[in-house]
Structure formats: C-alpha cells, structure tokens
Amino acid sequence: MKFYGRYIYLVCLSLYSISTLAQTALNNVIDEVVWVVGDDAILKSDVEKQRLQFGSSVPGNPYCIIPEQLAIQKLFIHQAAIDSIEVSDAEINQYVEQKVNENILLAGSKEKLEEYMQMTMTQIREEYFDQYKNEMTMLKMREKLTSDVKATPAEVRRYFKDLPEDSLPLIPTQVEVQLLVQQPRVHQEEIDRVKNTLREYAERVNSGTTSFSTLARLYSEDTASARQGGEMPYMGRAELDPGFAGVVFSMTDPGKVSKIAQSEFGFHIIQLIDKRGDKVKCRHILKRPEILQEDIDTAMVHLDSIAEAIRREKVTFDEAVSIVSDDKETRNNHGILSNLKVSDGERITTTRFEMSELSTYSPELARVISTMEIGEISKPFTMINSKGKTVCAIAKLKNRINSHRASISEDYQILKSQVEGEKKEKVILDWIKEKQRTTYIRINPDWSTCEFQYPGWIK
C-alpha cells in the first residue's frame, strides 16, 4: 500500500557494501584533514571509507573524485540549512530499513551482518541514517535550485533539429494496455474477522498491554509503514484515501486509537500523532480480508465468458469495461492504463509503458502482455492491484510501439525532459561555481594536483 509517494532518485554518493576487508583497512588509516569546505572538514578516513565501499567502480582516481563529491555534498547541505530544507525521519528510515534488510539477506543473518561490518545493528542503522539524510537533503536542495527550469516547445524543436540522428535517445519498446478487472467476492464472515482482529489490537493499545508501534511492526499489511511502527509522514487530506482521511482528520486526541476505517486498501485502525495546519501525522495498522479460492474461481469463470463474448464481437472491450469492471482507476477511461512518471519533480501521465515499467505496476500483467499480439484478448488471470488486493482480470494489448530513435511527434515529452535535464545541470554548474568563489576552501597540498570535474576549488 502506498499512501505517499516515495523519492525514486538518490544521488550516487553511497550505498554501503558488506566487507570485513573494507572495515579492517579503514581501522588502520591514520587520520588527517585533507579538505576544508567552509566550517566543515573532510577527513582522510571519510575518503577511505568511500573508496573501500566503491572499489573499482569509481571512474578515475578515487583520491580526486571522492573528496570533490564530498565537498559538493557539503555545499548543498550547508545551503539547505540556510534555506530551512528538511527531510523527515520517516522518509529516511524507509530507505534505512530497506538497505538493512537487503544486507541481512546478503549476509545471511543479522549476526553475520554485524560480524562483517564490525558494528551492532544500532550502529549500522545510525550510519545508514546519517548517510541517507545527507543524500536526501542534497537531492531536495538540487530540486529547489532547479524547480523553475522549464523547456519551451521552441527549445525542444531546436534541440531535436540540432542533434545528430545517431545521438537521439533510443526509446525501448512500449505498450498500451486495456484492463478489465473484477474483484472476487469477500464474505461478510471474513470482514467481521478482520474487524474483530483490529478491535483486539485497539484494546491492547488502550489497556497499555502493547504499544501501537509494536503491533504495527508485527501485523500491519502496509509493509512500507510497518517498518516504522505504522508511522506515516505529515499528509494532507487530498493525499490520502477518502475513507482513511475522513477518520484521521476527525481525530483530536494524540495517542488515542480510532474507530475502524475502511479504504480501498482494506481496514485500518489509526493513532493520531500530531496535527500541523492542514496536515496530520499518524500511525496505522492495515488488515485485508482474505479471499477464498472458490470465489477467485467464480470470478475467473465469469471473466472467461466476457472475454469470449468480446472475441465473438458480441460486445467491445470498451463496452465491457464500462459495464462490469470494478477498477475505478480505469473504468471511465475504457480500461486504458495510465503511467504516471515523475521526472525532475515534474509529473507526466502517459498511456505508454516500457515493459520494465509495466512489470513494476504488475508482474503478472507484464507476463501476460509479453506474449500477446496487438488487439488480442488475454485469458483470465489474477494480479495484485495498486491497492495491494488480489483481483481477477482480462487484458487487451491495444498497441505496441517497437524500439526506435526518438521523434518530435511521438516522443516530445522524453525530448523535453532531456532538454530540461541539460538546462538544470547548467543551473547546478553555475551554482557550484558561485559557491566555490564565495566559500572558504582549503585543500591539503598533497591532494591538490587533481583534474577536478568542477575547476575552481583551488584559488
């Protein structure tokens, strides 16, 4: 379940690898200050830590590239503090837990991860927390600096005209898909079971037997917030499901547990943490009713008869969607899936999906579409929808656009994003040059003979 968007871009300065060799070598470093940027020092140990993490993946001399990247990061973080740009702990913890869990899987257990990194789990989380906080703060600062950068149609056309054909972006194969969805029946007995479970959780919290956070970590089916004890960042009413928002915005007493709220995601109990203007911060526990296989089978048989009627041209796919589809997101759009992309902070909606994007939306749907011809109607299949629920569906491959070089008529938005990306890089370059000019910078002479990406460090 996703009540809030996630940041999908992270700057490249970091993901920790698991290596005893890296940690052992780092422990043997005799520390010294190698750069000073404003009031902040960059230590030799900072550089060594990065070098040992990235190893041969650093494209060039690590003793030139790494301290320069650390210096740039310090410029952004310092400016973010001046501009009061903050990243919430919930946002950071989301990435910390993801990285910790990935490394536990790689290591085999928490104990082995602690052994490899020579740290306790608490220390590991603290290291990751600081790392991600710096990265995400830097990212937000970059976004602020470039938020007003736009490309005009004339600039896009000029860019397309001046770019050699073999330099145009190569667009992967894309598909347009129509979907007809049916939600299998959910028995009232199962709904009652879920509600009774949530009432039991609420009683345990209200009696002081167990904390809300503990129950959320153990039992909530919203895996993203469960890792944070059910905690969500500050959210406005429009960012939340209406059923969820109606309950949480009616709450006034922090710490109290709400009545049961029903949303498109399932059933919830909510604990208010704070209200700030028109936003709320809360915890929640999500539970979804289970669907019986016999009810899935019934929905599949019904969909099979609908698919056959469409193939026999007794009804069109568009008409069938408008009559029987249970999916609110696509029913009023003839079943056509919409692909919402976020590029440099700009939200772009298109009906085209690259296969990797379709797989992210639904692996089950992507597998079905990958074998279909244009105009073909699929056999019924099950999938997990965007609300995390199991549904039954049939799909139609409306169109397939094979891989090609970008054209102004077919791929305007991609070209526009590329032009804006280059303009934003120019804004960032000019900003770094100005900060180099106005910021106190001192580099240890032994570290000053590099050819830097951004000339201007040495004055």
For 59-107, write each residue's pLDDT tens digit.
888 999 999 999 999 999 999 999 999 888 777 877 787 788 778 878 8
For the chain, give every residue range classified as CATH 1.10.4030.10.
20-149+424-447
Query: Percent of the chain, pLDDT > 70?
Result: 91
CA 228 to chain centre: 16
Q: Provide the pLDDT for residue 175.
A: 97
Beta carbons of 271 and 258 less than 8 angstroms apart: yes
3-state DSSP percent of the chain in helix, strand and coil, to 5 = 50, 20, 35
Query: 344 by DSSP, 3-state: which?
Result: coil
Q: Which pLDDT band holds residue 10 (cuts at 50, 70, 90)? A: very low
Q: Provide the pLDDT for residue 98.
A: 77
Q: Provide the pLDDT for residue 2.
A: 38
For the chain, give every residue range classified as CATH 3.10.50.40.
173-185+291-402, 188-287
Task: Extract the tokens encoding 56.
Answer: 């041969």
Q: Quick one: angle between helices 188-206 and 212-219, nearest 10?
A: 150
Q: Provide the pLDDT for residue 211.
A: 95
Q: Provide the pLDDT for residue 346.
A: 63
Report DSSP state, residue 271. E
| Average pLDDT of span 365-389 | 94
Q: Provide the pLDDT for residue 344.
A: 56
Q: Provide the pLDDT for residue 27.
A: 46
Long-range contacts of 297-302 (CB under 8 A, 24+ apart): 298/184, 298/185, 299/182, 299/183, 299/184, 299/185, 299/380, 299/392, 300/380, 300/382, 300/392, 302/182
Q: Which residue(s) pair with 257 in the sheet?
A: 271
Average pLDDT, whole number, for the chain? 88
What is the rounded CA–CA span in Å between residue 400 and residue 356? Answer: 14
Long-range contacts of 108-114 (CB under 8 A, 24+ apart): 113/18
Q: Dihedral (C-alpha) 129, 131, 137, 142: value to the nearest 10 degrees?
A: -150
Q: Provide the pLDDT for residue 367.
A: 96
Q: In what order do the strands lie in the sheet with 353-354?
A: 353-354, 174-182, 390-401, 381-384
**pLDDT over threshold 50, residue 294:** yes
Query: Percent of the chain, pLDDT > 90?
Result: 64
| Average pLDDT of span 13-24 | 38
Please state which CATH number belongs to domain 20-149+424-447: 1.10.4030.10
Please state which CATH number belongs to domain 173-185+291-402: 3.10.50.40
**Is-above-0.85 flag for pTM?**
no
Q: Provide the pLDDT for residue 30.
A: 67
Higher pLDDT, 321 or 58: 321
Higher pLDDT, 400 or 417: 400
| Average pLDDT of span 285-306 | 96
Report DSSP state, residue 5. -
Q: Provide the pLDDT for residue 441.
A: 94
Provide the 10 A C-beta neighbour count for residue 21.
Answer: 10
Please state which CATH number belongs to domain 188-287: 3.10.50.40
**pLDDT over threshold 70, residue 12:** no
Tell me the pLDDT tens digit for each residue of 132-166. Answer: 899 999 999 999 999 999 999 999 999 999 999 88
* Measured distance between the N- and C-terminal CA atoms of the chain, rounded to whole angstroms: 52
Range with lowest mean pLDDT among 339-343, 445-449, 454-458: 339-343
